[in-house]
C-alpha cells in the first residue's frame, strides 16, 4: 500500500486557504466588455454652421402690412375711439379716463394710448396699450400688441403685461370695446380695460356777417 507524502495535504490546505483571495482578485478587462475608460475624450472636428436651419417656432411675430376691414361701419366707429376707461379704478371718486389714438400708417391702423390713475390712493398706477390692428369686423377689433398694467401693490409695482393677439369686443349700440383678455396675469383680477368711442364735435360754420357801410 502506497503512502501519500506528508507534503501533499499541506499543499491542498494552502490552496483552499487562498481560494477566497483568488475569487476576490479583479479580473483583467476583456477586449470586448467592459472596456477601460479612455485617457482623454476623442477629438471632433468643428461643427456645421447654424445658419440656414429651420424651426417650428417663428423667430418673430408676423409682420402686418394691411389692416383687414370686414365691416366699414365698425371701422368708422373705431376710428373715433378716443378714451380709455380702466375698470379697476373707474368707480373711485376722482377717477378720470385716459387717452387713446387710432391712426393710420399707410394700410395699417395703429393704436396707442395710456391712462394714469389720479384717484386718491392710486396715484402712480397706470395702464397702456400699444399695437397694430389686424382685423376689424362687426363688434370685434383684433389687435396684435401689448396691454400693460402697473399697480403699486401688485408685483411690487412691476408692470404686468398681456401680449399677442388681443380681442376687443363691442355689443349692440354700445360705444365701448372691452378687452376680452383683460385678466391681470399677476393677480388674476379682472381689469375691464375699455376703449371708448367719442363722437367728434361737429363745428358748424360761422355765418359771415354783412359788412356795415
Q: Are 161 and 173 in contact (CB under 8 A)?
A: no
- What band does 22 get if pLDDT is binned at 50, 70 and 90? very low
| Separation between Cα atoms, residue 182 and residue 174, nearest integer Å | 18
Q: Which DSSP helix (H) or strand (E) runs through 8? A: helix 7-24
89-117 pLDDT tens trace: 999 998 999 999 999 999 999 999 999 99
**Total-model pTM:** 0.66
Query: Whole-number mean pLDDT of the chain?
Result: 82
134-181 pLDDT tens trace: 999 999 999 999 999 999 999 999 999 999 999 999 999 999 999 999
| Separation between Cα atoms, residue 99 and residue 129, nearest integer Å | 10
Span 23-39, average pLDDT:
58
Pairing of strands 126-137, 68-69: parallel
Burial tier of 194 (Cβ tally within 10 Å: 0-12, 13-18, 19+): buried
- For residue 168, whether the previous peptide bond is cis, meaning omega lies within 30 degrees of 0, is no
C-alpha cell at 39: 485617457
| Domain boundary assignment for the chain | 68-197
Long-range contact list for 3-11, CB < 8 A, 24+ apart? Answer: none
| Separation between Cα atoms, residue 3 and residue 186, nearest integer Å | 98
Does the pLDDT value for residue 3 go beyond 70? no
Percent of the chain with pLDDT over 70: 66
- What band does 126 get if pLDDT is binned at 50, 70 and 90? very high
Locus of grid cell 482578485: 25
Amino acid at each position: 500500500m502506497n503512502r501519500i507524502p506528508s507534503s501533499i495535504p499541506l499543499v491542498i490546505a494552502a490552496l483552499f486557504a487562498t481560494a477566497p483571495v483568488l475569487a476576490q482578485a479583479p479580473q483583467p478587462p476583456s477586449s470586448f466588455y467592459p472596456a477601460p475608460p479612455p485617457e482623454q475624450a476623442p477629438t471632433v472636428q468643428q461643427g456645421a454652421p447654424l445658419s440656414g436651419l429651420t424651426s417650428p417656432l417663428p423667430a418673430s411675430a408676423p409682420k402686418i402690412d394691411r389692416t383687414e376691414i370686414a365691416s366699414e361701419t365698425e371701422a368708422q366707429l373705431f376710428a373715433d375711439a378716443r378714451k380709455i376707461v380702466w375698470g379697476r379704478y373707474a368707480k373711485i371718486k376722482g377717477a378720470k379716463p385716459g387717452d387713446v389714438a387710432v391712426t393710420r400708417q399707410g394700410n395699417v391702423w395703429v393704436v396707442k394710448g395710456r391712462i394714469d390713475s389720479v384717484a386718491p390712493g392710486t396715484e402712480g398706477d397706470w395702464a397702456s396699450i400699444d399695437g397694430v390692428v389686424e382685423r376689424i369686423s362687426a363688434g370685434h377689433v383684433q389687435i396684435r400688441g401689448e396691454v400693460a398694467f402697473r399697480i403699486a401693490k401688485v408685483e411690487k409695482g412691476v408692470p404686468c403685461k398681456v401680449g399677442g393677439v388681443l380681442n376687443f369686443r363691442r355689443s349692440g349700440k354700445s360705444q365701448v370695446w372691452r378687452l376680452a383678455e383683460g385678466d391681470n396675469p399677476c393677480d388674476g383680477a379682472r381689469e375691464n380695460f375699455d376703449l371708448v368711442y367719442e363722437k367728434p364735435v361737429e363745428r358748424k360754420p360761422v355765418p359771415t356777417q354783412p359788412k356795415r357801410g
